[in-house]
Structure formats: structure tokens, C-alpha cells
Amino acid sequence: MDKLQCVSSSRPDFWKTVKDLLGTASPSDAFLKTGNDVCYDNVYKANLFNRHFASISSIPHGVLSKPFPPFNYVTNLLIPPLTFEPFAVYHALTGLNSRKSKGFDNLFNQLLKPCSMSLATPFSLLFNFILATNQYPRSWKMASVIPLHKSSPTYVICTYRPIAILLSVSKVFEKIIHNHLHS
């Protein structure tokens, strides 16, 4: 209690102190309930989440085997060729959200944003090389999928939704293409 008296409730470390005193458990200490069984094992929980997310995210059988309908041009307009200019890369880098988590490359947006002026030219060269060779990096296609709790109770697997943690560099690449297509 003496710790709380020393910390003003308006200070950011107040709630950290409260959490420390209450001893809140980490998500890996939590349990999941499946039917009548209670699961504490992290590997088993990971497999449960994997099966659950796959079941709610899968494409119905046979959908991809159907042929696409004929494509008719609606307009004669064509998308102009894309070249990644350093200014566009700089603008996309400075637009990164600093509060988003790092990807599995361990590059924080908080690191990329202040370095955006220095990184703009090398990234623009890399992005132009990717377009010229038509070779999108395999590692940029991967994501780390983590469960995010959306409603109570925390021990029911259906109360979680998957979120994909992507690489910041791939987000910059995609953002510039998106802006180009919608300009």
C-alpha cells in the first residue's frame, strides 16, 4: 500500500504499480477450456488456436476449382507504370503507426520512422528491383498470427480473433502500391 501512496493516479506508472501489486498473470499462464477439458499446456493451446482460426478462415471446398467468369473491360484507362520514388517511400515510412508491434524481423516502426530520410533511397531501389524482377520476397509473404481476446470469458477459444503481424517494410511497399492504384 505504501507504493500506491507514493504514486499519483494521474501518472502513467500508477496503473503499472497497481498491476504489479495485484500480480496479474501473463496470457501464457491462462487456461483454455475445450468441452469438459481444461488446457494449460502452451503447445496444446497453440494447436487449438491454429485449428480454430483455420476453421473460421478457410475457403469452402470447391470454390477455387470453379472457372472465373469472363472478364470484360469497363474502361479503356490503364494503370500507369509504377516507379518507387524516394519521396513516396519517405512519405510511407513517416506514416507508419509507431504504436503497432514489430514484425518477426524485429524492426520497430519507432526505429523506421526517425530513419525514414536515410532509408527512403535504399528502400526505393529495393522496391523497384522487386517490380523489375517480378520477385516478391518470400519472407514478406509470411505473417505471425496471434490470438487477440475480443470478449469475455478469456478461457473460451471462440472469444479470440486472429490478427496477422506483418513486416513493416512489406506494409510500406503495399501502401505505396495502394496509393498509386487509387490516385
CA atoms within 13 A on the CB side of 71: 4
Whole-number Cα distances in Å, 168 to 84, 88, 97, 149: 16, 15, 10, 23
pLDDT in tens, the chain (183 residues): 444 455 455 556 665 665 565 555 455 567 888 777 788 888 888 888 888 888 887 777 777 777 778 878 777 777 778 899 999 999 999 999 988 888 878 888 888 999 999 999 999 999 999 999 999 999 999 888 888 888 888 888 888 889 988 899 999 999 999 998 888
CA atoms within 13 A on the CB side of 159: 11
Q: Which of 174, 170, 176, 169 is nearest to 91 (CA)?
A: 176
